[in-house]
Amino acid sequence: MTTTPLLIVSVGRTVPALPSLGADAGPAVRRVDQLAAIAAALPDDQPVVVLLDAMLAADAAGVAALAGRAALVGVGAAGTEEPGAALPAHVLCGFFAEDAAPAVARTVLQGALRHAAALVAAQRSAAAAASRAGEITELTRIGVALSTERDLPTLLAMILEQARRLSSADAGSLYLVERADGAEPVLRFKLSQNQTLPELPFREFTVALNASSIAGAAAVTGEAITFDDAYALGPADHFTFNRSFDEKLGYRTKSMVTIPMRTHRDEIVGVLQLINRKRTATARLATADDVAREVVPFDAHAVALVSALASQAAVAIENGRLYEDIERLFEGFVMASVTALESRDPTTSGHSSRVATFTTGLAAAIDRADAGPYGHVRFSREEMRELRYASLLHDFGKVGVREQVLVKQKKLYPSDLSIIRHRFQFLLQRADLQYERERAQYLWEHGRTNYEEAVQRLDRSRADARDQLVRFLDAIVRANEPTVLPEGTFEELSEINERLFVDFDGTEKPLLSDDELRYLMINRGNLDARERREIESHVTHTYRFLEQIPWTRALKGIPGIAWGHHEKLDGSGYPRGVHAVDIPVQTRMMTISDIYDALTATDRPYKRAVSAERAIDILRDEATHGHVDPALLTAFVEAKVFESVQPADGRRSSSSRRVTPAGA
């Protein structure tokens, strides 16, 4: 630091008072003919006094540049007692005439020197205050950044990077305290950064949480540990420094500080270790000379600054871990819910997971697009997780649907078809019994006369009756099979229903009851209107169930996204019949994924799976009729999202024909 005062005087002027100022306070003298040239070159930490006579005062720009930086003393003409018009009196801290007595000049100069020293001190204080304010602002900015980061690996990297930047450290490491149930806590080495060696190999390892290591000692004691030179550690330091890393990679560890990261609850969550503080933040320590020239100790201010950051980091890490715990909790809950649903309806096992895979894949494709109606849409990590959870839980409301409806595979319930089979078996047996009765009656009335011809006639009649019953039953079994698209005219069923039979109690009844006929004449799927309404109610059950869950703010959209996955853009969907403007893009994507999987799934015993090509054609038809979003469907096909689930995952393998976008 420069401490010798500087006295600036005009060329040729003598100052009789200088010798009497004393050796300790004697200033250096510089003679100039103008001030502007030297104003910018003056050291910030040197007190400066300017003897401002008429010649120097004529340099108005120089005077303005030095005002407030130097002590300006006016020097007037001989015999004057105050500054004249040639001197700017408003910036002067003192005045004497050029013929003033040495004692007078000395007194004025001594006062000016004190004033100059005070100006330097004030500037130094202002600079220090500005620096502290800047540091506080920077710590606040870093704190805000840390508090908003939820991904723990990203958070740790940010903490170490900011600590190195604040302290001008070349390298650093970060350890986290790891506590496992039933095991002693340890320190896990989680991260390393090195500006000089940016491509360092990294692997995690653990060290004991005790004073046997520098990091462990900082964590146990809760105190910062600082070394000016790690190689100079001796027995009194209670630590040894392992030089194998330096020797292997050609690095030189010198100054070091190890700071515990302590939460507001006084809990140590980790340790921050910084290495080699540098004079120049951007310098690389490639050689021993670089280390000797650039590396300086971590002083008290640097330690205090990084300690403040470490406290912020501890809270951020604790929050990050808490957020991870919440994520795991929600993940476990969601997967348990899916398992519960699929255990109740094994026929749709895997559907929820596949819809989630398709939907998030489509969202990723939309996120990559820069053009089209969704070119502006982007999904954050939290929004992708929200979409995945909504997709996984979109059918959870089926737990509120009667199981016999939920798992219904054919148009008739198994018990109903069994009753019909027993009815036809009864009629077949009755036909045989009728045959035996008529044969016996013939023998009783006619004996053996023309008996063979009569038996042949009775055989034909019985065979016709049995053939008709078998044909009718086959028709019923065929009609019991559900179809994906509307099929059949059901004339044969109407014919069957016109036939009557006499029941056990002697009552005449149609071969098929009204309910049986109604179920068999379902022309699409396997559910009648009442059952379909019950199944469709699962969407509302899903919404009401998801609404009861205290989702985080990042996941609060899940109920609304799942609610609309059976809505249509033209308002013909259910349960609310809303139109496109009220259907979020996330829901529109899920609708396409849900329809595609329902069409192509091979695990549905109540319907045949269709190929990927046929499923895309059906979806295109849905888009043409205003049911699904054509732009999203195009992205689904062009990005080949439908190929993200392999046949081994419960899909039907597509044929070799290539699926192309509409119009291609």
As a whole number of angstroms, the distance between CA 248 and CA 365 comes to 45
Residue 273 has pLDDT above 80, yes or no: yes
Top-confidence range, 80-89, 322-331, 429-438, 620-629: 620-629
pLDDT digits (tens, 9 = 90+) for 149-168: 777 888 888 888 888 988 89
pLDDT at 2: 55
Query: Residue 62: helix, strand or coil by DSSP?
Result: helix
**95-104, 358-367, 499-508, 629-638, range with the lowest pLDDT:** 499-508
Mean pLDDT of the region 583-600: 94
Q: State the pLDDT confidence band at 657, using cuts at 50, 70 and 90.
A: very low
- pLDDT on residue 405: 81
Kindly give, in sequence order, each residue whose CB lies less than 8 Å from that of residue 356, ignoring residues fewer than 6 positions away.
Answer: 388, 391, 392
* C-beta separation of 616 from 358 below 8 A: no
Q: Mean pLDDT throughout 512-522?
A: 87
**pLDDT over 90 at 575, yes or no:** yes
Confidence of residue 18 (pLDDT cuts 50, 70, 90): low
Query: Per the structure block, which two tokens stand in for 178?
Result: 């790891």
pLDDT at 293 over 80: yes
Q: Please, which pLDDT band fits residue 29 given cuts at 50, 70 and 90?
A: confident
Check pLDDT > 70 for residue 659.
no
Could you please report the per-residue DSSP string of 146-201?
HHH---HHHHHHHHHHHHHHHHTEEEEEEEEEE--TTS--EEEEEEEEESSSTT--
Ramachandran angles phi, psi of 425, nearest 5°: -65, -40
Kindly report which listed range (8-17, 26-35, 221-230, 591-600) carries the lowest average pLDDT score: 8-17
Ranges of beta strands (E only) in 98-145 are: none
**Segment 105-145, tens digit of pLDDT:** 888 988 999 999 999 888 887 777 776 777 777 777 777 77
Q: Residue 440 above 70 pLDDT? A: yes
Residue 74's nearest CA partner among 47, 48, 101, 56 is: 56
| Average of per-residue pLDDT values in the chain | 85
Q: Torsion angle, CA of 361/363/369/375, rounded to 10 degrees?
A: 160
164, 171 in Cβ contact below 8 A? yes
Helix (H, G, I), strand (E, B), or coil: what is residue 26? coil
Residue 28 parent element (H or E): strand 28-32
The sign of the torsion formed by the CA atoms of 545, 550, 555, 557 equals positive
Question: Can you give the C-alpha Rg of the chain in angstroms?
Answer: 46
Cα four-point dihedral sign 300, 306, 309, 314:
negative
Query: Is the predicted pLDDT of residue 654 greater than 50, yes or no?
Result: no
Position 21 confidence tier, pLDDT thresholds 50, 70, 90: low
Task: Tell me the CA distances in angstroms from 269 to 139, 187, 309, 455, one per residue in order.
Answer: 20, 9, 14, 99
Mean per-residue pLDDT, 249-266: 90
Q: What is the pLDDT of residue 606?
A: 57
The Cα 593–Cα 633 span in angstroms is 9
Q: CA 335 to CA 341: how far, in whole Å?
A: 10
Per cent of the chain over pLDDT 70 is: 92
Tell me the backbone φ, ψ of residue 562, rounded to 5 degrees.
Answer: -70, -30
| Residue 561 confidence (pLDDT) | 95
Residue with tokens 């103008």: 34
Q: Is the pLDDT of residue 664 over 50?
A: no
Strands 295-296 and 500-502: unpaired
Cα distances (Å, whole numbers) of residue 501 to 161, 209, 420, 429, 507: 88, 88, 13, 13, 8
The upper half-sphere exposure of residue 525, i.e. CA atoms within 13 Å in the direction of its Cβ, equals 12
pLDDT on residue 38: 83
Cβ-count burial of 164 within 10 angstroms (0-12 exposed, 13-18 middle, 19+ buried)?
buried
Task: Please indicate whether residue 182 or residue 636 has the higher confidence score (pLDDT).
Answer: 636
> pLDDT-based confidence at 580, cuts 50/70/90?
very high
- Cβ atoms within 10 A of the Cβ of 388, count? 20
| pTM higher than 0.85 | no
Type and span of the H or E element at 437: helix 414-446
Q: Is the pLDDT of residue 653 over 50?
A: no
Q: Which of 46-55, 301-310, 613-622 has the lowest mean pLDDT?
A: 301-310
Residue 656 pLDDT > 70: no
The answer to whether residues 480 and 489 touch, using CB atoms and an 8 Å cutoff, is no
Instruction: Give the N- to C-terminal CA distance of the chain in Å, as an integer.
Output: 77
- Lowest pLDDT segment from 64-68, 234-238, 493-497, 556-560: 234-238
Write the CATH number of the domain with boundaries 149-323: 3.30.450.40
Instruction: State how far the Cα of 362 lies from the Cα of 360, in Å rounded to an integer.
Output: 5
25: nearest Cα among 106, 121, 93, 100:
106
Q: Are 252 and 229 in contact (CB under 8 A)?
A: no
Is the pLDDT at 22 greater than 60? The verdict is no
pLDDT band, very low/low/confident/very high, at 605 (cuts 50, 70, 90): low
Structural contact between residues 617 and 611, judged by C-beta atoms closer than 8 angstroms:
no
Q: Residue 278: is its pLDDT beyond 90?
A: yes
For residues 26 and 44, give the distance between their C-alpha atoms in angstroms, rounded to a whole number. 19
Q: Is the peptide bond before 575 cis (omega within 30 degrees of 0)?
A: yes
| Structure confidence at residue 524 (pLDDT) | 80
**Residue 232 burial by CB count (10 A; 0-12/13-18/19+): exposed, middle or buried?**
exposed
Mean pLDDT along residues 199-224: 88
Position 91 scores a pLDDT of: 92
Asked if residue 487 lies in contact with residue 495, where contact means CB atoms within 8 angstroms, the answer is no
**Dihedrals φ, ψ of 48, to 5°?**
-130, 130
Give the right CATH number for 6-126 from 2.115.10.20, 3.40.50.2300, 2.40.50.220, 3.40.228.10: 3.40.50.2300
Better pLDDT: 619 or 331: 619
Work out the percent of the chain whose per-residue pLDDT is above 90: 34
Secondary element (H or E) of residue 10 = strand 6-10
pLDDT of 577 over the 90 cut: yes
Q: To 5 degrees, how large is the angle CA 70–CA 72–CA 73?
A: 145
pLDDT score at 602: 73
Chain-centre distance for alpha carbon 90: 63
Contact status, residue 20 vs residue 102, Cβ threshold 8 Å: yes
327 closest CA partner among 93, 577, 555, 597: 555
Phi and psi of 137, rounded to 5°? -60, -40
Q: What is the DSSP letter of 664?
A: -
Mean pLDDT of 300-309: 87
The residue ranges of every structural domain in the chain are 6-126, 149-323, 345-395+542-649, 414-526
Across 98-107, 314-323, 388-397, the highest mean pLDDT is recorded for 388-397
May I ask the CATH class of domain 345-395+542-649?
mainly alpha
CB atoms near residue 91 (< 10 Å): 18
Q: Which two tokens stand for residue 654?
A: 């597509």
How many Å apart are CA 174 and CA 165, to the nearest integer?
Answer: 15
* Token pair for 461: 């009649």
Mean pLDDT of all residues in 92-102: 90
